[in-house]
Amino acid sequence: MHTLKTTVLLCCLQLCRLQAATFYVDPATGNINNSGAYDAPWSTLEEVISHKLIRSYAYSPLPYNAATSQPVLFNASAPVRSGDTIVLRSGLHGEVFLQNYINTDYITIMAEAGHTPILKKIRLQACKYWRFEGLSVSSEPYGIYLSDKLVFFESHGWQGPTSHIEIKGCDVYSTQTPWTTAGEWVSKVSDGIYIRGDSVIAVDNLLRNVDMGLTAYGDHIQAIGNRIVNFSGDGMRLLGSYILFEKNLIKNCYDVDDNHDDGIQSFTTNGIVVDNNIVRSNIILNYDDPAQPLLGPLQGIGCFDGFYNNWLVENNLIVVNHWHGITFLGANDCRIINNTVLDPTPDIQPGASWIRIDNHKDGTPSSNCVVMNNVCNSFVVDGTTGNNIVLKTYAEYANNFVDYASYDFHLLENSVLIGAADNSVAPLFDLDGTMRPQGDLADIGCYEYVYTTGIGDSPQPDQTLRLFPNPAADRLQIGDAGFDDPVEVEIFTSAGVIV
């Protein structure tokens, strides 16, 4: 009987997968009265929504009450259902406003390969299980500047919560070319991605020429591999718990108003709880062009209004011309490990940059924090410290980094940071993904120095070279032996498995 039940369940799952459908939308050739098939596409995504072609559920009764409101089916006969995909072709698709669309599985809205569909904005309110992939979001192609939120995932007091949303590989911009005056920025710019919900994933998006690049206001949010390029305000905001910010690039701050701009900022104002968060392997650059218009000081990671509990901040590269490199005012059980935090102009105010853990602004001390394996201009730490190095002159930069003037802070082979870290707290990988340690001891800062292993200028046929300990190096250089015939190189793991 157990086997029969299992077989029936598997058959049902396979049937559900077979029933998932794909629909097409093409502003150039489509018609809303078509079937939505590949060769009979609908017109625009906005019309698909307004013509009620999506079957979903909505909370009832309203206002939303977690104890009494339940999802109720609507648009029961609509063709698009949970688990389906809507493929968009090039052109203007209008704006997406979905209010109380709660799916039981992800509905994916994605660009067709080689196409550039453009949405004016995306706003989800009281929605669940939606995925957006490869879309452009901007009002500029529509001839207007919204001065609004280009992408807004919103939990709403009346309509209900928003959760389980994904946005991947989207291009979100206020304008193609950054404005050169503060007045234009203030009057025309929009926020990039604003998340006010739980269990949201934002991956590999490009946010450019925006205000407040990405805001994560909720719990269990992951922002990974996003690029925030040319921004006013804060690059990213972390306003919740169990949040991961990893491998994001934040660069080119435009100073256009009185906001104290941060690469990443967090605060506990209005009762926000910000515990158990990870900020890992991000790059924050004040600017990549000293001639950029509207240059101003950028604070690195600013956590000023605690308390912040159980944070991990590791493997970040922070190059900002401000004293706030990494600052926690009111922190418990926080760890700041293997970061490179340097002012590009350490001799010019308002720098140089520090790593600081200090009292809450009400005077309550921080507790049980660890700051180790970092390189910085200075340290002001209420907590356990060790294996940190201070570099604060251009000469010290030149002696330790490949090309600090071009923001390449990989290590030179004679850097004092090599082999100077404490292995017991060092992350397993550096910012580039290189395994630590490469030598006996890990290196200080966000980058691990990579040793190159060579086998000389005269390798012989069938010669075997063992790399030990594994991995002693992640690069193997074979000298020019002048072989007349092609050489085949085979690489095996220690278990004898060919790579």
Q: Which domains does the chain have, with CATH numbers?
A: 21-321 (2.160.20.10), 322-450 (no CATH), 455-499 (no CATH)
Closest CA to 340 of 330, 356, 353: 353
Residue pLDDT tens, the chain, 499 long: 444 444 444 344 444 445 899 999 999 999 999 999 999 999 999 999 999 999 999 999 999 999 999 999 999 999 999 999 999 999 999 999 999 999 999 999 999 999 999 999 999 999 999 999 999 999 999 999 999 999 999 999 999 999 999 999 999 999 999 999 999 999 999 999 999 999 999 999 999 999 999 999 999 999 999 999 999 999 999 999 999 999 999 999 999 999 999 999 999 988 999 999 999 999 999 999 999 999 999 999 999 989 999 999 999 999 999 999 999 999 999 999 999 999 999 999 898 999 999 999 999 999 999 999 999 999 999 999 999 999 999 999 999 999 999 999 999 999 999 999 999 999 999 999 999 999 999 999 999 999 875 555 555 555 555 443 344 344 555 544 455 666 666 665 545 566 5
β-pair partners for 384: 370
Do the Cβ atoms of 388 and 376 come closer than 8 Å? yes
The DSSP code sequence of 11-74 is: HHHHHHHHH--EEEE-TTT--TTS--BTTB-BS-HHHHHHTT-B-EEEEESSS--TTT-EEEEE
**For 320-379, where are the alpha helices, taking DSSP H only?**
none
Q: What angle do CA 222, 170, 58 make, to 5 degrees?
A: 70
Amino acid type, 263: G
What is residue 223's three-state secondary structure?
A: strand
**For 87-223, where are the alpha helices, taking DSSP H only?**
182-188
Pairing type for strands 70-74 and 299-305 reads unpaired
Q: What token pair was written down for 214?
A: 């990405």
Pairing type for strands 408-411 and 401-403 reads antiparallel
The DSSP code sequence of 410-468 is: EEPTT-TTTT-S-TTTS-SB-TTS-BS-SSSSPPSSS-PPPPEEE--S---TT------
Q: How far apart are CA 61 and CA 336, in angstroms?
A: 47
Q: How many CA atoms lie within 13 A of 223 on its CB side?
A: 33
